[in-house]
Amino acid sequence: MTLQSARTGRDDRRKAILDVARDVFMEEGYAAASMSSIAARVGGSKGTLYNYFPSKESLFAAFMQEECQVEAWVAAASTADGSNVPAALSVIGAHFLDFVLSEKAQTIHRLVIAESERFPELGHTFYENGPRLGVGVLSEWMQLQIAAGRVRVGDPERMAMVFLELCKSGLHQRRLWNVPPEPTADDKARNVAEAVRVFMAAYGPV
């Protein structure tokens, strides 16, 4: 067996473990999930599982890192053409809402809320791999717009957070609490349009 094939086999095995762990954590929660039950579903021994992840905490952290990636809307933020700030923000906001209101994002959010009081490190892992990552990328984009004179001088991180919160306004809590009906495409479009309008009124060039 070559080194490359061995590495590929190990990566495949790691992914298989994470796929099973995702199902177990989402079905049972962090506290109730056990390494034994995960190993049984994977089809190997608990010892083999520990060869990949030394603890349940490290397995959960890897699961969060895998599931909390925000590639779609982060990519939209990092590549958006800033020559037309309102248009760019409309694209960024649409991608962001599609992500944050998705079933996967909502399930993870509820799981973290349920477990973070007993296991504060889980909330930290979620924050670092989700919200903080996204705000960081968008704040860098905001800084470019400030430098170009397209928006007013201000704290780019605060500006990023304000815009994202405006996009979520009303819809995110309703979705998180499973209050019907689910947000429609029109609901999301209206939220983003209002977020862009309010943001530009506050931060647009004088």
Domain ranges for the chain, please list them: 3-59, 68-203
Amino acid at 89: L
Q: What is the mean pLDDT of residues 128-142?
A: 89
Q: What is the mean pLDDT of residues 150-164?
A: 97
Q: Chain-wide mean pLDDT for the chain?
A: 89
162-198 confidence digits (pLDDT tens)? 999 999 999 999 999 999 999 999 999 999 999 999 9
For domain 3-59, the CATH class is mainly alpha
104-123 confidence digits (pLDDT tens)? 888 888 888 888 888 888 88
Looking at residue 44, the DSSP 8-state letter turns out to be S
Superfamily covering domain 68-203: Tetracycline Repressor, domain 2 (1.10.357.10)
CA distances from 61 to 41, 82, 118 (A): 19, 35, 15
**Residue ranges in 80-184 assigned as alpha helix (H):** 85-100, 103-115, 120-129, 131-147, 156-168, 171-176
pTM over the 0.95 mark: no
Quote the tokens at residue 202.
């506050």
Report percent pLDDT > 90 for the chain: 54
**Residue 66, C-beta contacts closer than 8 angstroms, at least 6 positions apart:** 18, 22
Say how far residue 99 (Cα) sits from the centre of its chain: 7
Looking at residue 68, the DSSP 8-state letter turns out to be S
Quote the tokens at residue 189.
């479009």
Amino acid at 182: E
